Amino acid sequence: MVLRYVVTGAPGAGKTVLVDQLHARGYPIVREAATDVIAELQAQGCAQPWIRDGFCDRITARQHTRRRAPVPVGARVQFHDRSVLCTLALARYLGHRVPRSLTAEVDDVVRSRVFDPVVFLVRPLGFVHPTAARRISYEDSLVFEAVHEAVYREHGFTLLEVPPASPTVRADLVETWLSGRPGARKNRPRPPERAAPRRPTEFAAAGSADREDERVTHPDPHRSAAVSGDPAVTVRPAGDQDWPAVWRIVAEVVAEQETFPYDPAMSEADARSMWLVPAPGRTTVAVRDGRVLGTANMYANRSGPGSHIASGSFMVATPARGRGVGRALVEDALVWATGQGFAGMQFNAVVEGNTAAERLYADLGFTVIGTVPGTFASPTRGRVGLHVMFRPLP
């Protein structure tokens, strides 16, 4: 018996990249039908196929054919890049009449239990890159995602969230979960160079892990991001409406216990009091397409005789790291500090070995004044030092 798993998610969430990653690991897959139908109709001169009569019928017919294609001999698991239930969600989102062919196909799939009752829901990365087949804003993609969730739950499926992360990490998470399903075991040999997957209990939190692994692959994510740039990222003062998104970032970063000496058991109320600094200090958010990707605060480093030196703290959500968000936040803080008349900016506790921060700060003119050894207990590297870094301001 072949276990067929649907992989779904909002446009631009990285769903197809994940499916391709699983395919590269030896799993048979079924490609998404909608993107192929859109490409074919656009090649025929139809710029917006989704407004054309019969659009959902075409997708349904293609999905029907593909799901009935033979599965490779010996395969125990097959991944489907969307299913006909996604087409039903598409029809509802577009406000189209649901055609009889679509209703019949959905009924057949559900009644015949074609797919495993667990569906992998790939969560958004925080942005959407437009393509010829994907002309949707990030905000609208979240609405579309909610329609998908409703449709799958309405038909009795359980959604297993795949958090924002690299394709490799996401594929590891899927395989980790599959390892607990007896019928899915030994679907394919595991290549010897693969790292051991996480335990199933870590599935939900994995989006905040693997920073060290990412550094090995991308030794200086901030520097490369600055070269490529992202003009869509803007930094603005944080408002009350931003706190839920800021709290998610703060909670994630603090829980990692790799970059900030804050108590991981910190309550939301304590975090809010700590992070939202009062005037004349300032708290900011980095935003792209309406999505908060990072946050910072800045203030006088000390009171009284030390009040002429500024300081600040910076946090970036996991899926936005390596995209220039941290650089934008630090550069904005430097502009603010200069405008406020501070003579310099000092960072009091830069964790030794946090290479992304060390290199970014050095690139922006900071130098290490000294390192207090063994003052930060990293859960992965043991006791490491804390740097004091400083940069004079004009």
Chain segment 19-44, per-residue pLDDT in tens: 999 999 999 999 999 999 998 998 99
237 and 331 assigned to the same domain: yes
Q: What is the pLDDT of residue 132?
A: 61
CATH of the domain at 282: 3.40.630.30
69 and 196 assigned to the same domain: yes
Gap between the Cα atoms of 169 and 124, Å rounded:
15
**98: Cβ–Cβ under 8 A, 6 or more apart, which residues?**
56, 88, 91, 92
| Domain's final residue, options 190, 209, 228 | 209
191 and 300 assigned to the same domain: no
**Beta strand pairing status for 344-351 and 309-316?**
parallel
pLDDT band at 182 (very low <50, low <70, confident <90, very high): low
Instruction: Look at the alpha carbons of 7, 13, 17, 22 in this order and tell me if their dihedral is positive or negative.
Output: negative
Does pLDDT of 276 surpass 90?
yes
pLDDT band at 184 (very low <50, low <70, confident <90, very high): low
60 and 107 assigned to the same domain: yes
Q: Considering only 186-195, 333-342, 369-378, which range has the smallest mean pLDDT?
A: 186-195
144 and 237 assigned to the same domain: no
Gap between the Cα atoms of 249 and 129, Å rounded:
22
* DSSP secondary structure string for all residues of 133-200: S----HHHHHHHHHHHHHHHHHTTPEEEEE-S--HHHHHHHHHHHHTT-GGGTTSSPPPTTSPPPPPG
Using alpha carbons, select from 176, 154, 221 the residue that is nearest to residue 22.
176
197 and 223 assigned to the same domain: no
Using alpha carbons, select from 282, 290, 291 the residue that is nearest to residue 311.
282
245 and 338 assigned to the same domain: yes
Gap between the Cα atoms of 317 and 328, Å rounded:
14
Q: How many residues does the chain have?
A: 394
CATH of the domain at 141: 3.40.50.300
Instruction: Report the chain's mean pLDDT, rounded to a whole number.
Output: 84
Quick: pLDDT tens for 83-127.
999 999 999 999 999 999 999 999 999 999 999 999 999 998 887
CB 203, CB 176: distance < 8 Å? yes
100 and 229 assigned to the same domain: no
Q: How many domains does the chain have?
A: 2
The parent domain of residue 114 ranges over 3-209
Quick: pLDDT tens for 203-246.
332 233 333 222 222 222 222 223 233 557 889 999 999 999 99
Q: What is the pLDDT of residue 373?
A: 94
328 and 280 assigned to the same domain: yes
Does pLDDT of 134 surpass 60?
yes
Q: Which residue has the higher pLDDT, 198 or 83?
A: 83
Three-state DSSP class for 215? helix
344 and 255 assigned to the same domain: yes
| Domain's final residue, options 176, 209, 242 | 209
Does pLDDT of 142 surpass 80?
yes
Per the structure block, which two tokens stand in for 359?
Answer: 């290199």
Q: Considering only 107-111, 208-212, 338-342, 368-372, which range has the smallest mean pLDDT?
A: 208-212
229 and 321 assigned to the same domain: yes
190 and 60 assigned to the same domain: yes
